Copies of this chain bind each other. A is one copy, B any other.
Amino acid sequence: MAGSIYGTLFQISTWGESHGSSIGVTIDGCPAGLPLTETDIQIFLNKRKPGQSKFTTKRNEADEARILSGVFEGQTTGTPISILIENQDQKSKDYGNIMNCYRPGHADYTFDAKYGIRDYRGGGRSSGRETIGRVAAGAIASKLLAKLNVHITAYAKSIGPVTVPEAEYDYACINQNSLYMPNNRYAKLASQYLEQCIAAQDSSGGIIECVVTGMPAGIGETVFEKLDANLAKAIMSIGSVKGVEIGDGFQAAKALGSANNDLFYKAEDRIAKKTNHSGGILGGMSDGSPIILRAAVKPTPSIAQPQKTINKFGESISLSIHGRHDPVIVPRAVVVVESMTALTLIDMLMINMSSKLDRLINFYK
Contacts and interface: CB of A to CB of B under 8 A. Distances in A.
A303 B253 contact: no
Interface bin, chain A: 35 or more
Contacts of A353: 350, 353-354, 360, 363
Interface stretch (A40-48, A184-192, A197-205): A197-205
A31 B354 contact: yes
Interface stretch (A55-63, A109-117, A172-180): A109-117
Interface string A344-358: 000001111111111
Interface string A103-131: 01111011111111111000011100010
A181 interface: no
Contacts of A105: 257, 260-262, 278, 282
Contact of A81 (B15, B34, B229): B15
Interface in A67-98: 68-70, 72, 75-82, 84
B351 A1 contact: yes
A309 to B, nearest CB: 5
Contacts of A110: 217-218, 220, 282-287
A26 B26 contact: yes
B1 A221 contact: yes
B283 A225 contact: no
A125 B257 contact: no
Interface string A289-306: 000000011111111010
Contact of A204 (B221, B256, B355): B256
A217 B107 CA distance: 11
B158 A253 contact: yes
A301 to B, nearest CB: 6
A37 interface: no
A57 B112 CA distance: 47
A167 interface: no
A252 interface: yes
